[in-house]
């Protein structure tokens, strides 16, 4: 582990932004550009809400809706008005069992891929009782809100300036390999509190001792909603700040991180504004951090738009 990566970060983005390689479009600059990349509105795709008792709990594409329409005893498809579950299925257990039957059949046909044998709750809002649970591999097809926890691990230098610990995701990870990430971040499983989840992830991902992890402060949430691989999905990320001692060095325990580095906020800000080096949703949480710590100030152009767009998705 070294404090700064070997290659000066500044060089890379200047190259990318001003003299892109042939066939590589220069990326848009600025905080709003990074936020917008998490909130890509549907263009050609058409979606209908997945609805329970008047509350929209997901978004289903016309492609997947046509599949669900084959199972009228389970799903009532009234596209594009709404997709609901057959009211004959009255309990969460009945609904989950019925949905599992449908999804297993669709998996056998190759419509649902990447089966994980892991259940994912469909909720009216965070903390409310599950309406049903669906196989995680199908969650994105229903466009269900996913929840996560992200930890800004930072230090304060003797001169008062702050530096952020940043992880580089393993080059072998199936999602976003090699991109920059928080020191600790993870999905929010059902049945455990976000704060308990943070403590668990702190240990697994960065070997942060329990007593230190417990000093992480919940500081709010960001949200976004956009189209990814033909699905329309919103995420809510619970944000935490963890003020780390200057002599602390994270150590990855689960093989999902290639390196950790500690970067001055000015460098982090420049990377966000001028590169796509961070995993897309990580940008939102760090921008929120930069706002809350007075690094992005009201005198910044677009300050209020930046602040407002950090919760562009449903926040419930």
Q: Which residues of this chain interact with a second copy, rule CB under 8 A? A: 125-127, 193-195, 217-221, 223, 236, 238, 291-294, 297-299, 301, 303-305, 307-308, 311, 315-316
Burial of 108 (0-12, 13-18, 19+ CB in 10 A): exposed
- For the CB of residue 16, give the shortest distance to a second copy in the complex, in Å: 29
227-245: b (≥16 Cβ within 10 Å) or e:
beeebbbbbbbbbbbbebe
- For the CB of residue 72, give the shortest distance to a second copy in the complex, in Å: 34
Distance CA 59, CA 40 (A): 14
134 three-state secondary structure: strand
- For the CB of residue 219, give the shortest distance to a second copy in the complex, in Å: 5
Distance CA 201, CA 240 (A): 12
Asked if 231 contacts 141 with a C-beta cutoff of 8 angstroms, the reply is yes
- For the CB of residue 218, give the shortest distance to a second copy in the complex, in Å: 5
- For the CB of residue 148, give the shortest distance to a second copy in the complex, in Å: 11
Report which secondary-structure segment, H or E, holds 70: none
End-to-end CA distance of the chain: 39
Helix ranges restricted to H, 45-185:
62-68, 92-108, 136-142
Query: Which residue, 99 or 239, has its beta carbon nearer to a second copy?
Result: 239
Distance CA 6, CA 159 (A): 24
Query: Which residue, 96 or 223, has its beta carbon nearer to a second copy?
Result: 223
* Cβ contacts of 166 within 8 Å, gap of 6 or more: 180, 181, 182, 183, 260, 261, 262, 263, 268
Q: How many CB atoms lie within 10 A of CB 106?
A: 20
Query: Which residue, 79 or 295, has its beta carbon nearer to a second copy?
Result: 295
Query: Which residue, 135 or 288, has its beta carbon nearer to a second copy?
Result: 288
- For the CB of residue 311, give the shortest distance to a second copy in the complex, in Å: 6
Query: Which residue, 54 or 294, has its beta carbon nearer to a second copy?
Result: 294
- For the CB of residue 22, give the shortest distance to a second copy in the complex, in Å: 38
Query: Which residue, 10 or 125, has its beta carbon nearer to a second copy?
Result: 125
- For the CB of residue 107, give the shortest distance to a second copy in the complex, in Å: 32
Query: Which residue, 125 or 178, has its beta carbon nearer to a second copy?
Result: 125
Query: Which residue, 63 or 316, has its beta carbon nearer to a second copy?
Result: 316
């Amino acid at each position: 582990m070294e404090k700064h990566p070997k290659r000066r970060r500044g060089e890379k983005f200047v190259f990318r932004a001003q003299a892109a390689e042939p066939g590589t479009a220069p990326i848009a600059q600025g905080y709003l550009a990074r936020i917008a990349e998490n909130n890509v509105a549907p263009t050609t795709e058409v979606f209908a809400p997945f609805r329970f008792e008047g509350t929209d709990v997901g978004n289903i594409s016309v492609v997947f809706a046509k599949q669900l329409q084959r199972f009228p005893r389970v799903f009532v498809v009234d596209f594009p008005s709404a997709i609901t579950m057959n009211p004959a299925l009255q309990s969460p257990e009945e609904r989950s069992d019925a949905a599992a039957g449908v999804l297993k059949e669709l998996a056998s046909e190759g419509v649902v891929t990447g089966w994980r044998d892991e259940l994912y709750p469909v909720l009216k809002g965070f903390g409310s009782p599950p309406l049903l649970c669906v196989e995680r591999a199908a969650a994105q097809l229903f466009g269900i809100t996913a929840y996560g926890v992200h930890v800004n691990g930072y230090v304060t230098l003797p001169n008062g300036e702050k530096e952020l610990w940043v992880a580089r995701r393993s080059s072998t990870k199936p999602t976003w390999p090699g991109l920059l990430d928080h020191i600790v971040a993870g999905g929010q499983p059902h049945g455990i509190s976000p704060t308990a989840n943070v403590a668990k992830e702190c240990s697994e991902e960065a070997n942060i001792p329990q007593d230190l992890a417990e000093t992480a402060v919940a500081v709010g949430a960001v949200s976004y909603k956009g189209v990814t691989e033909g699905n329309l999905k919103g995420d809510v990320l619970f944000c935490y700040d963890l003020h780390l001692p200057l002599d602390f060095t994270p150590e990855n325990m689960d093989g999902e991180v290639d390196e950790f580095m500690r970067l001055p906020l000015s460098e982090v800000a420049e990377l966000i504004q001028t590169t796509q080096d961070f995993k897309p949703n990580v940008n939102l949480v760090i921008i929120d951090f930069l706002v809350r710590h007075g690094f992005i100030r009201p005198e910044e152009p677009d300050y209020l738009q930046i602040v407002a767009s950090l919760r562009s998705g449903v926040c419930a």
